[in-house]
Chains A and B, each alone.
Chain A
Amino acid sequence: MHELSIVMGIIEIAEEELKKAGKERVTLIELEIGSLSGVELEALDFAWEPAVRGTVLEQAERKIDYIEARAVCVDCNSSFKIEHIYDNCPVCGSYLKNIVKGKELRVKALEVV
């Protein structure tokens, strides 16, 4: 359950930004999570509530921008959607690919008051 450390990291980022902005609390937090980021949304949900209790994120609305993974084949240069890390190129069958999208694990934006 590394999602808990992930939430702790998010809280830390929110606390830092809030301090910098000289504000009191976060009303909205937007996250970008890729389908291959290694984070399970269900596990994140499970970890979220107890972790943010008593923090600047306690009352924040959470928006998740879920990003589907895409790769580019190293052999034939086709761009394709991938569901798993081990998916191969649908055009030439190669497993050699660069994952160009889907690894995101970012705090995109905050709204603070």
Chain B
Amino acid sequence: MCGTCGCGTDNISIRKPGEITELQHFVQITDHVHDHHHGHDHHHHESVHIDLEKNVLDKNQLEAERNRGYFEAKKILALNLVSSPGSGKTSILERTLKDLKDEINFYVIEGDQQTMNDANRIDALRIPVVQVNTGQGCHLESDMIYRAVKELNPVENSVLMIENVGNLVCPAMFDLGEDKRVVIVSITEGEDKPIKYPDMFHTSDICLINKIDLLPYLNFDLEKLKDYALRVNPNLKFFEVSATTGQGMDRWYDWLREEIGKKQNL
């Protein structure tokens, strides 16, 4: 499935920081071919009814399961980080990588419509990273992860952080093969984000509430946010954090260590 329209005029690129942006360095994701099937069998012009009952997202799901199998075989913990733009996804990721990189082997896939900016921020920490630019696409799909993972070639017992395109709507529908989905919401957004964009909160396992250091300066009702989120997803687990001050990050790191342990003992 292609996330872009115009059939190939707007290609998706997958590349590492410092790579030349020439066409041969791009992995082109233009699977679909818009050809007509002009069958020349003139004896069969009667109409045929085909019962299908086929899920439209089957292909994405199949590739997601393939990714999941690969992660399981290599005991890689894969997390899909989702949020609206500006919630601090990349800042949380940077802080986490900085604090834990001596202890954990990290790999990162950055998803954005344009620019290498986020990949360059991760590259500055000497963490292997691949940037997926989706062009007009508003979310990552599982085949992009498959190709990006091939580029990264992660070692066993590592952690793969996938930073999805900043968008609280579209990425919810696309399983990437991750172990856990982590939704990030910041307290400079409205408390009602979970019920405005319920699909994302419904499909997530963990909710990081970021910018918690700003709580004294804002008129933000933290309990209301959690209440809304729990209505959408009663199983959601919260961590209140600040990527800037480091407040609350320890509990998130403990959770991460616990999940790595579970994955390695599978």
Q: Give A residues with C-beta under 8 Å from B.
A: 1-2, 4-6, 8-13, 15, 17-19, 21-25, 27, 32, 36, 38, 47, 50-51, 54-56, 84-86, 88, 95-96, 105-113
Contact = CB atoms under 8 A, between A and B. Distances in A.
Nearest to A5: B3
Name the 4 nearest CB pairs between A and B, nearest first. A2-B170, A85-B198, A86-B231, A86-B232
A21 B55 CA distance: 19
A113 B37 contact: no
Counting contact residues on chain B (CB < 8 A from A), the size range is: 35 or more
Contacts of B78: none
If over half of A's interface residues share one DSSP class (helix, strand or loop), that class is named, otherwise mixed; here it is mixed
A5 B141 contact: yes
Contact of B54 (A13, A38, A111): A13
Contacts of B169: 2, 38
Contacts of A47: 5
A21 B50 CA distance: 9
B224 to A, nearest CB: 13
Contacts of B38: 24
B1 A2 contact: no
A55 B199 contact: no
B42 to A, nearest CB: 10
